[in-house]
Amino acid sequence: MKMGGGAKPFGVDADRVPALVRRIIAAGADWRGFHIYAGSQALDAEAIIAMQAQTLALAAELAEAVGVAPPKVNLGGGFGIPYFPGDTAFDLNAVGGALGQALSDLPAILKDTHFCIELGRYLVGEAGVYLCRVIDRKVSHGETFLVTDGGLHHQLAASGNFGTVIRRNYPVAIATRFDAPADEVQSVVGCLCTPLDRLSDSAILPHAKVGDLVAIFCAGAYGASASPANFLGQGAALEMLV
């Protein structure tokens, strides 16, 4: 998901920042620095390295235009996790090495600046599993649907309705038949009356029955807190720390 460049509702245009910061400082506010954020769910280490270099250059340019060194600069984040087949795990060592080198050779105006990075999804995304129970097994025009007691009101991102251009399945398993062979095409859907409520579309899974548990992996980020929990009044997800 791209956040910067061109007309965007997100953030402040770079050419307007210096005047805004000077107004903030002149008003007596405790200005704490810049938050510069380019995008999210990036797996390309070289792209992240280039983005961080551009961010540092922009922070220095803005600071020079303001005439005051920023106490803090938030470099954003965007570090991705592998959700789908073909995804390659993010090379943190390459990014860390390049960033360390860049921070050792900062422009003078940034020498005393404290730098921050947001690592939310990278830290917690793969740590979460969403569980729901099959409450009905429906066959419609030859297609099998596992209707569950969960859905997009708990896991909007897994349904593909949270910034995804092309919907792809999160890793999914029938948790109560984990060792059974995957031999049947089944779609995992929620209990809401909308065709958008799909947690997994035409996945090859073990034959599942009413009462089985479905596990959606990589659910630790953009889960319950980013989902329309009150939509159609089905109730909030139970969250457990194990």
- Answer whether residue 7 is part of any domain: no
Q: Confidence class of residue 218 from pLDDT cuts 50, 70 and 90?
A: very high
Q: Which domain holds residue 111?
A: 14-124
Q: Which stretches does DSSP call E strand in 9-129?
A: 33-35, 72-74, 114-116
CATH of the domain at 48: 3.20.20.10
Domain final position from 124, 142, 157: 124
- Answer whether residue 1 is part of any domain: no
- Cα distance between residue 98 and residue 114, in whole Å: 17
Same domain, 94 and 157: no
Of 164, 170, 88, residue with least CA distance to 128 = 170
- Answer whether residue 210 is part of any domain: yes
Same domain, 92 and 155: no
Same domain, 113 and 147: no
Positive or negative CA dihedral for 145, 148, 153, 155? negative
* Average pLDDT, rounded, for the chain: 94
- Cα distance between residue 23 and residue 31, in whole Å: 10
Same domain, 153 and 100: no
Say which residues have a Cβ less than 8 Å from residue 76's Cβ, sequence separation at least 6: 35, 36, 37, 38, 39, 51, 55, 117, 118
Q: Which two tokens stand for residue 29?
A: 């506010």
- Answer whether residue 3 is part of any domain: no
Which contiguous run of DSSP H or E holds residue 65?
helix 45-66
Same domain, 147 and 106: no
- Answer whether residue 237 is part of any domain: no
Tens digit of each residue's pLDDT (9 = 90 or more) over 143-188: 999 999 999 999 999 999 987 778 899 999 999 999 999 999 999 9
Start-end of H helices in 152-201: none
Domain final position from 105, 124, 143: 124
Backbone angles phi, psi at 99, to 5 degrees: -70, -40
In the prediction, which pLDDT does 2 show?
66
- Provide the β-strand partners of residue 2: 39
Same domain, 208 and 220: yes
Same domain, 106 and 132: no
Query: Whole-prediction pTM value?
Result: 0.87
CATH of the domain at 164: 2.40.37.10
Domain final position from 124, 148, 182: 124
Sheet with 33-35: list strands edge to edge: 33-35, 72-74, 114-116
